[in-house]
Copies of this chain bind each other. A is one copy, B any other.
Amino acid sequence: MIIDWIGPRVPGLGNHPVKRVVGDRVTVETDLLADGHDQLAGVVRYRRRLSGEEWREVPLEATDNDRFRATFVVDAIGSWEYTVRAWVDVWASFLWGLRRKLEAKQGIELELQDGALLAAAAAQRAAGQDRKALEDVAARLRDRGDPARRVEEVLRADVGSLMRAHSDRTTATTHDPPLEITVDPLIARFGSWYELFPRSTGPSGTHGTFKDAEAVLPYIAEMGFSIVYLPPIHPIGKTHRKGIDNRLTASAGDPGSPWAIGSTEGGHRDIHPDLGTAEDFRRFVRAARELKLAVALDIALQASPDHPWVTEHPEWFVHRADGSIQFAENPPKKYQDIYPFDFAGKSWESLWLALRDIFFHWIGEGIRIFRVDNPHTKSLRFWEWCIRTIKARHPEVIFLAEAFTRPKLMYTLAKLGFSQSYTYFTWRTTKSEIVEYVRSLTAGDLPEFFRPNFWPNTPDILPEHLQYGTRATFIVRATLAATLSPSYGIYGPAFELGERAAREGAEEYASNEKYQLRTWDLSRPDSLRPVLRRLNEIRRDNVALQRVEGTFFHSTDNDQLLAYSRTSEDGANTVLCVVNLDPHHRHQGWISLDLKRLGVAEGSSFQVHDLMSDARFLWRERRAFVSLDPAVMPVHVFRVRRRVRSEHNFEYYL
């Protein structure tokens, strides 16, 4: 007997864990090849890793083409493991032959005697009542009485259970080593992120503090976001500090980039004094938690020339021919305000420990979500070790990779442990681009380990279509992000306030908060706040939007109309979105609906309930007409309501 394949698994050479969130079902599939006509039995064994728990078992069931399947639920956060154990089921093999002979009306006296031997052997492996029962079965099969009655005996369900319970597993094959599953909290897959610069929350013109930022939390929570993510909160270097608009030299009042970490006031474990104290930060985190907002911190593993480690640990940096420390480069770009760490240097061990301690420090301060800056320019092996060892102690911690890089490198970071990743969504704007990209994210085994996070904008990226778009563009981008990916985020308030001024010739914000304080009028009447609130509500109410899989694109006869449905794992919840991708013109056209994908029977009428406008339409045909005016609302987000009959025989749409 051969175990030829087991999944879910991560493709590639690394035997990396697949990812799930707590409460998920894990459906294991395996190809088991038997010798000849042998019938096989087997189980999936699973347990939490390193827990000392006994294996739990769930029986494998044959599907077709030598494939077997079993499902179990991962009901706790942490590292799990599973494997397949299978063996020849002698009793099932015996019954298989017996049934075929009975059908052909052949004599089966000798077969019944063979069955008696099998029952007697099983009795030897059993004890107590079971042993007695199996001995009785053997005796009844042995006696030369009415064959029909004895056949009945053989086929009895309780005899089958007994034989199964005491089958001979001494020749069982177990796949070793087991496969790993990382079970995360739900927020690793499903979350609405809001990026906020706390220093821009101060009274007009002054440097904001955590206390000021605290006052903005209800605003964010009321919009329905679940995560507030802060750029680095550490002291900022002065040497080669960048001025406003990324100028090479800073003026006296320029606050510098938060990513140039470290000054005489401290490093990665310290808080910028202008933001407040450690206690202020803790208060901020507590206040967020009371509003059901998780706080995510940005960890950028690099140092400004003023970082205390530059003098305390020069061995952690690369030195050049003239003795100077190598600053960051992406030739020909130079970042003199930033020193990268030497992950492969002679002192890598002490460096790696110190870097990991940064995470442990902030975990100690109550942080469970880290957005990691440019992980692909650090060391892949470092991340593998760092994340694995942190999650061994704190399995609830999650890591978002800010890796806008080559696809395989993004996937590798996910394989090595990152819980989720930024994506190319930011630049996918046409119908064919969006369809192709979303399909690629659910192709093959990718969803087993790579969880996308869709961002319409970031402080680094103000894409062209937002610069030249309209209010409708912002609504469309938010809707696409919020409904095509279970995790999405915006950099606010720039996003909801429709900020679109770009630095000349760049996909970057003018007057970028990375280099200066900004003051935002959160109460502006044209704010997209109500749209975002509605989208986040819809996400919370519709589980179809809380997973990566389950997207289907319906064809439309207009290239500016994108239609897709999202369906929950159990099929009960279906959301249908129609988006006008052109921010300037009204578009109308026909959608060819795949009714099966909507869970609707051919010929049956169904309701599409626009959760944005609360309008309801009664549809029946496979073809539906849609008209969307960007000046009014460029999207429909329909809940598909199927006709059901109440117990009082009243029909309604659920």
Contacts and interface: CB of A to CB of B under 8 A. Distances in A.
Nearest to A330: B37
A4 interface: yes
Contacts of A12: 4-5, 31
A85 to B, nearest CB: 14
Interface string A94-121: 0011001101101000100110110000
A329 B97 CA distance: 9
Q: At the interface, is chain A mostly helix, strand, loop or mixed?
A: mixed
Contact of A321 (B37, B116, B344): B116
B2 A412 contact: yes
A343 interface: yes
A65 B103 contact: no
A510 interface: no
A171 B344 contact: yes
Nearest to A66: B408
Contact of A379 (B3, B35, B329, B412): B35
A42 to B, nearest CB: 14
A354 interface: no
Nearest to A113: B321
A406 interface: yes
Interface string A74-89: 0000000000000010
Contact of A36 (B14, B37, B376): B376
Interface in A379-410: 379-381, 406-409
A331 interface: yes
Interface string A325-355: 0000111100000001001100000000000
A31 B408 contact: yes
Contacts of A3: 13
Given A12-B4, A66-B408, A110 B322 contact: yes
Interface residues on A, range: 35 or more
Nearest to A38: B344
A161 interface: no
Interface string A403-438: 000111100100110000000000000000000000
A175 B13 CA distance: 9
A33 interface: yes
Interface string A246-270: 0000000000000000000000000
Given A331-B101, A409-B33, A117 B2 contact: no
Interface of A: 1-6, 11-14, 31, 33, 35-37, 65-66, 88, 96-97, 100-101, 103-104, 106, 110, 113-114, 116-117, 171, 175, 320-322, 324, 329-332, 340, 343-344, 376-381, 406-409, 412, 415-416
24 contacts: A3-B13, A4-B13, A4-B412, A4-B415, A5-B11, A6-B13, A13-B175, A31-B408, A33-B412, A35-B343, A35-B344, A35-B376, A36-B340, A36-B377, A37-B330, A37-B377, A88-B344, A100-B331, A106-B332, A110-B322, A110-B324, A113-B321, A114-B321, A117-B321
Instruction: List the 6 closest pairs (A to B, CB-CB), nearest first.
Output: A104-B332, A113-B321, A100-B331, A36-B377, A97-B331, A66-B408
